[in-house]
């Protein structure tokens, strides 16, 4: 079979499929709101594009050639695909489909219960929540593998845009049973429960509040290092030291009532930005998830 190197004309294919459905040129013309010569003209153009006859005529009836059978199969597949596409576009259901979100570990802990409740109310909604480093969040939103990201600064890439959705305060966390240390020396005696972001948090928060005596994160008296965000407060609960976490990571911990946040004269907050591809029209399900994120982060 000789095929030309161009896309088959969609209008001619639909005319051919309708002709085959009706089995008669006059009836096909009526269905398509065309003249009978117009139907014949579409058939001739499609045969010219294919390079082979599609019908064998016998008076007023016809049968398909092998080329005609192959082209009819293509025409009907395209018709079905178009119907599916139209249905998808017309039914942008906020309760159905996949939505992916990337954020820090502490924010993932905070958002997870809300997303679980959302999926329980909408059984066909599939939410993927992934904790990852900031740089990777931007990369994944940019390449389309993630729908929405949450970062602590606005994107600079021209194909990304950000929406400020809240503030996440850094908290110096102590056991609830202890009084607040009167000096940095007393705090350092307790020992620091370190974690991957802990030293950077310490330089920000302790450096701002103990500028004259804070020696830098590399000289803190560390008692432990924990990599799992949900387990970081556990040593603090047992009186083994203090740690520094965003408020988002503290509020979601089940032992929150046995922890206290030490009052400090100079608060340090990270602005939270919702990241998405620029000028992207999100489906209804992603817009619904975005609303849930904004509601949760607005009360941090």
Any idea what the CATH number is for the domain that residue 29 is in?
A: 1.10.10.10
Do 141 and 130 lie in a common domain?
yes
CATH code, domain with 152: 3.40.190.10
What pLDDT was estimated at residue 58? 82
Token duo for residue 65: 């050639």
Indicate the DSSP class of residue 196: T
Domain co-membership, 191 together with 249: yes
Inside any domain, residue 4: no
Query: Which segment of 40-44, 87-91, 248-252, 288-292 scores lowest on mean pLDDT?
Result: 87-91
102 and 139 belong to one structural domain: yes
pLDDT at 90: 62
Residues 249 and 172 in one domain: yes
Residue 49 lies in a domain: yes
Whether residues 154 and 184 fall in one domain: no
The C-alpha torsion from 224 through 172 and 269 to 167, rounded to 10°, is 90
In a domain, 281, yes or no: yes
Give the total residue count for the chain.
300
Report the 10 Å Cβ neighbour count for 160.
19
CA torsion angle 199 203 209 211 (round to 10):
130
The per-residue pLDDT for 1 is 41
- At 115 the three-state DSSP class reads helix
**Is 162 a member of any domain?**
yes
Residues 134 and 283 in one domain: yes
The answer to whether residues 86 and 105 belong to one domain is no
| CA distance linking residue 107 with residue 150, whole number of Å | 8
Of the residues 90, 120, 151, the one at which a domain ends: 90
Q: Report the alpha-carbon angle 297-117-257, nearest 5.
A: 60
Q: Which range of residues forms the domain containing residue 128?
A: 96-167+271-297
1 found inside a domain: no
- Give the pLDDT score at 86: 75
Question: How many domains does the chain fold into?
Answer: 3
Domain boundary among 70, 90, 110: 90
Q: Is the pLDDT assigned to residue 280 strictly greater than 90? A: no
Question: How do residues 29-66 score in pLDDT, each as one tens digit?
Answer: 998 999 999 999 999 999 998 889 999 988 778 999 99
As a whole number of angstroms, the distance between CA 261 and CA 52 comes to 80
- Token representation of residue 57: 């005529």
In contact, 51 and 41? CB cutoff 8 Å: no
Residue 288 domain-assigned? yes
pLDDT at 6 over 60: no
Domain shared by 197 and 279, yes or no: no
Residues 18 and 141 in one domain: no
Packing angle, helices 105-121 and 284-297, rounded to 10: 130
Q: Are residues 106 and 41 in the same domain?
A: no
Q: Are 221 and 152 in contact (CB under 8 A)?
A: no
Same domain, yes or no: 186 and 263: yes
The answer to whether residues 189 and 249 belong to one domain is yes
| Average per-residue pLDDT for the chain | 91
CB atoms within 10 A of CB 300: 17
Nearest Cα to Cα of residue 15 among 75, 56, 64, 58: 75
Q: What pLDDT is stored for residue 87 in this prediction?
A: 66
Domain annotation covers residue 48: yes
Tell me the percentage of the chain whose pLDDT exceeds 90. 71
71-110 tens-digit pLDDT: 999 999 998 888 777 766 667 789 989 999 999 988 999 9
Classify residue 3: in a domain, yes or no.
no
Average pLDDT over residues 19-34: 90
What angle is formed at CA 164 by the lines to CA 161 and CA 165, rounded to 5 degrees? 125
pTM of this prediction exceeds 0.75: no
**Mean per-residue pLDDT for 199-217?**
96
- Helix pair 25-32, 36-50: axis angle to 10 deg: 100
Number of H helices, E strands in the chain: 11, 11
């Amino acid at each position: 079979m000789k095929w030309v190197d161009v896309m088959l004309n969609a209008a001619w294919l639909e005319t051919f499929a309708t002709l085959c459905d009706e089995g008669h040129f006059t009836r096909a013309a009526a269905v398509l709101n065309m003249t009978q010569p117009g139907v014949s003209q579409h058939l001739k153009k499609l045969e010219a594009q294919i390079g082979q006859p599609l019908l064998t005529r016998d008076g007023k009836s016809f049968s398909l050639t092998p080329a005609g059978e192959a082209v009819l199969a293509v025409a009907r597949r395209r018709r079905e695909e178009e119907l599916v596409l139209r249905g998808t576009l017309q039914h942008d259901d906020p309760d159905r489909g996949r939505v992916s979100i990337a954020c820090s570990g502490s924010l993932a802990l905070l958002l997870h219960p809300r997303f679980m409740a959302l999926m329980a109310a909408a059984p066909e909604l599939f939410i993927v929540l992934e904790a990852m480093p900031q740089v990777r969040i931007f990369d994944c939103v940019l390449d389309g593998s993630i729908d929405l990201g949450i970062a602590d600064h606005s994107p600079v890439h021209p194909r990304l845009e950000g929406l400020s959705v809240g503030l996440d305060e850094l908290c110096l966390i102590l056991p609830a049973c202890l009084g607040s240390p009167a000096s940095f020396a007393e705090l350092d005696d307790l020992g620091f429960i370190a974690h991957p972001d802990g030293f950077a948090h310490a330089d920000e928060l302790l450096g701002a509040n103990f500028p004259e005596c804070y020696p830098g994160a590399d000289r803190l008296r560390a008692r432990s290092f924990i990599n799992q965000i949900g387990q970081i407060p556990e040593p603090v609960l047992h009186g083994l030291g203090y740690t520094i976490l965003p408020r988002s990571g503290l509020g979601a911990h089940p032992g929150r009532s046995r922890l206290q946040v030490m009052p400090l004269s100079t608060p340090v907050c990270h602005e939270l930005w919702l990241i998405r591809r620029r000028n992207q029209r999100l489906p209804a399900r992603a817009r619904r998830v975005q609303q849930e994120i904004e509601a949760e982060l607005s009360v941090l």
